[in-house]
Chains A and B, each alone.
Chain A
Amino acid sequence: MLKKGGIVLPISMLPPGKKAVVVDIIGGEGIRRRLIDMGIVRGVEILVVKNDVGPLIVGVGEMRFALGFGMAQKILVEEL
């Protein structure tokens, strides 16, 4: 599971190519629920595919998601 002591930061701060583990989702219940339903949950490994302008593109397993910047700021991860 989680390594203790890693730096926790919003996924919006990771450059493309980085992998990270979701630690927490902050923000409103609606947002969290939507992400949970789509498979972005605590403990899941997430890959940043694109992060420059516009929404991020992230990967969970074979799936790819476009994530608005506001949304991405609410997903806290620990870099792998």
Chain B
Amino acid sequence: MEKMGVLEGRKELVVALAGNPNSGKTSLFNELTGSRQHVGNWPGVTVEKKEGRLKFQGIDFKVVDLPGTYSLGAYTEDEMIARNFIIYDKPDVVINVVDATNLERNLYLTMQLLEMNANLVIALNMSDEAKAKGIEIDKDKLSQILKVPVVMTVATKGEGVKELLENVLKAVEFKGERYRIDYGKELEEGISELESLIKEDEELSKKFFPRWLAIKFIENDENIMKEFSSKTALMEKVKLIQKKLEGIFGEDAEVVVADKRYGVISGIVKECVKKRSTPEERYTLSDRIDRIVTNKYLGIPIFLVAMWAVFEFTFALGNPLSDWIEMFFDWLGEVTASWLESIAAPDILISFIRDGIIAGVGSVLVFIPPIFLLFFAISVLEDSGYMARAAYVMDRFMTALGLHGKSFIPMLIGFGCNVPGIMATRTLENTEDRLVTILVNPLMSCAARLPVYVLFAGAFFAENQGLVVFSIYLLGIVLAVIMAKIFKKFLFKGKTAPFVMELPPYRVPTLKGLLIHMWERGSLFVRKAGTIILGVVVLVWILSSLPAGVEYASAESYIGRLGSAVAPILKPAGFGTWEAASALIFGILAKETVVGTLGVVYGAEGDALFEAIRQHFTPLSAYAFMVMTLIYIPCVATIAAIRRETNSWKWTFFAIGYTLILGWLMAVIIYQGGKLLGFN
């Protein structure tokens, strides 16, 4: 309780987690706050700021998890978020999460944090991996040199968390000096000259730690230079000093500054790190795995097999489980109907419960098992470190498009859901590349579209279900690639940003981690079933039952009339029925409701729904319908994400328009082409 003093009358302590990508910030955040934010083994998992709370020794903490960044010189949207929070929001304490296996590179950011006088505590994370690799870090020595508390942590196991918090509390009260790099006479002269100018300017010195700002000026930091371009007198001085230093050193001042930093770091590392003498190993286990996984001949086949395995796994295990859920809903439907009849409930209520709620929501919930299993399988790819390799392997294609491998990661994430997929484009350096990657993301088939495929493929292609669904996903990738090429060629002629991406070491996913991921994303789907899908289903039922006296779900009902108005356009694609048309219309609200709507208008779920589908579609028109569902108009949540991330209505409408046209064209080509080839 006596610790309350550190708050100095404020409500809570603000603690930010900053560090290199993939160093374990989010794992630590989850451990600290009991949250379940997304963790994955590739750089760039977290792309937005997340807050969580905790109480320790009677004090309230607000913990902020930030995207990873290699330096404070932010190039990408996600790095910008981290940078801005640290320099403008000025958290009380910054926990610098450092990957202990890569101390040298990680300390580069640490030096910059020290320079801006952030109140630091270092978490030497991944200390288990460091130990396994024979890297011994003398943390007391490190702490002594940097004059910053250093705590060993293993975020995934929660080790060191308590000690970390104790040190955070100590750091709040810290008043002394931290370590400061001596940049050598010439640079220091320039720095102090600018520093005194900055100190004279009240606006500047209030906003920033003067020495840090001075160094940023000398480094010619893009963001900082832009921010202060209007201060002409100061800028002139900056240019002058930069010129002078370049004269002395014979190269850009920024390189000299960086060299100096790394030089100092290298000295510190020599003092604090002992690598147990192991027999000289050029290649790590990860390298050996990479030799196969990224092999020039095997890389792409392995990627395709991995994807195919995901679907086989999803269906082989998912279908029998779905059957059980289906049996449950069949039973539920019967029991409720007969009970309602026994209490002489009005017909309309029976229809509402049986045709509306149970057929509508039930037909979607049946797909819980495959969706959960799909998320499970995706998590395996994410946690193992394969994501970055897939990006590497696909770089060959992406380069042909004028994009690069990194653009493939948002596309892979899109397989789970397009909203995080679109947000993941924040990690791309180049705005044009980012826009293209956003625009094609909806073509990556998300989990919400899976029920449609399972239903239709199950009804017509039960033998080859996995393969048929796989073909749809593949079609999505191919179309995304073609569209990206077209967009890049005609709309965004800019050049591609150079490609450099960190490949994290392979890690064995933990079952606990996988289950948490599966649960987190899967339960969102269940929640969606209880909210938006339920809402849409009720709406569809009402529209099916009105106007009063109309035969339920007939062409004369409101929904029948709505669907009939659109159906003729869909006729060339082979599914010109009002039922299919209205399913597509309501599917825009959430793709699961394509199935939900069909369930309501056919008044069936489970086996009966399969039967109804077989009556109203042919194998060929079913395939065309699956393709249409894959491509046409993104769901509203995705549309909103596109709007938010592009910050433009123009591109948002463009995305809606081109997907609609493309979807229709593809469905028509498949149906008409298939008929010509003699399919039915």
Contacts and interface: CB of A to CB of B under 8 A. Distances in A.
A68 B282 contact: no
B343 interface: no
Contact of A41 (B102, B259, B290, B391): B259
B102 A62 contact: yes
A55 to B, nearest CB: 5
Interface string A10-47: 00000001000000000001111111111101111001
A37 B502 contact: no
Given A53-B396, A54-B392, A63 B105 contact: yes
A65 B395 contact: no
B294 A50 contact: yes
Contacts of A61: 102, 104-105
B296 A68 contact: no
B498 to A, nearest CB: 4
A47 B262 CA distance: 19
A40 B225 CA distance: 24
Interface in A36-80: 36-39, 41-44, 47, 49-50, 52-55, 57, 59-68, 70-71, 74
Contact of B395 (A30, A37, A55): A55
A36 B404 CA distance: 21
Interface stretch (B229-237, B250-258, B357-365, B602-610): B250-258
A41 B284 CA distance: 22
A57 B101 CA distance: 19
B255 A32 contact: yes
Contacts of B255: 32, 36, 42
A47 to B, nearest CB: 7
Q: Which of A31, A41, A43, A52 gathers the greatest number of chain B CB atoms within 10 Å?
A: A41
B108 interface: yes
B502 A65 contact: yes
A66 B395 contact: yes
Interface string B62-78: 00000000110101000
A37 to B, nearest CB: 4
Interface in B280-305: 282-284, 286-287, 290-291, 294, 296, 299
A57 B388 CA distance: 12
Contacts of A66: 388, 391-392, 395, 405, 499-503
Contact of A64 (B104, B393, B503): B503
A52 B296 CA distance: 7
Given A61-B104, A62-B133, A68-B395, A30 B75 contact: yes
A50 B502 CA distance: 14
B108 A54 contact: no
Nearest to A64: B503
Contacts of A38: 70, 105, 500, 502
Prevailing SS type, chain A contact patch: mixed
Nearest to B287: A49
A47 B283 CA distance: 9
A33 B73 contact: yes
A29 B503 CA distance: 23
A55 B105 contact: no
A74 B133 CA distance: 32
Contacts of B102: 39, 61-63
Contact of B404 (A50, A59, A68): A68
Contacts of B75: 30, 33-34
A23 B429 CA distance: 26
Nearest to B266: A43
A57 B404 contact: no
A50 B71 contact: no
Given A55-B499, A71-B499, A49 B283 contact: yes
Contact of A57 (B108, B503, B504): B503
A54 B259 contact: no
Contact of A54 (B71, B395, B501): B395
Nearest to B79: A37
A65 B501 contact: yes
B258 A54 contact: no
B282 A17 contact: yes
A37 B392 contact: no
B283 A68 contact: no
Interface in B136-191: none
Contacts of A70: 498-499
A34 B262 CA distance: 14
A24 to B, nearest CB: 9
B395 A64 contact: no
Contact of A37 (B108, B282, B287, B504): B108
A70 B402 CA distance: 13
Contact of B500 (A47, A49, A52, A71): A71
A63 B287 CA distance: 11
A57 B289 CA distance: 13
B29 to A, nearest CB: 23
Interface string B503-514: 111000000000
A62 B132 CA distance: 13
A64 B22 CA distance: 13
A41 B502 contact: no
A35 B287 contact: no
Contacts of B133: 62
B307 to A, nearest CB: 19
Contacts of B503: 57, 64-66
Contacts of B500: 34-35, 38, 65-68, 71
A53 B429 CA distance: 23
Interface of B: 70-71, 73, 75, 101-102, 104-105, 108, 133, 220, 252, 254-255, 258-259, 262, 282-284, 286-287, 290-291, 294, 296, 299, 388, 391-393, 395-396, 399, 404-405, 429, 498-505
7 contacts: A37-B70, A39-B104, A42-B259, A54-B299, A55-B499, A62-B133, A64-B505
Given A17-B282, A55-B392, 10 more contacts: A34-B500, A35-B500, A41-B259, A49-B287, A55-B499, A57-B287, A63-B102, A63-B502, A68-B500, A70-B499
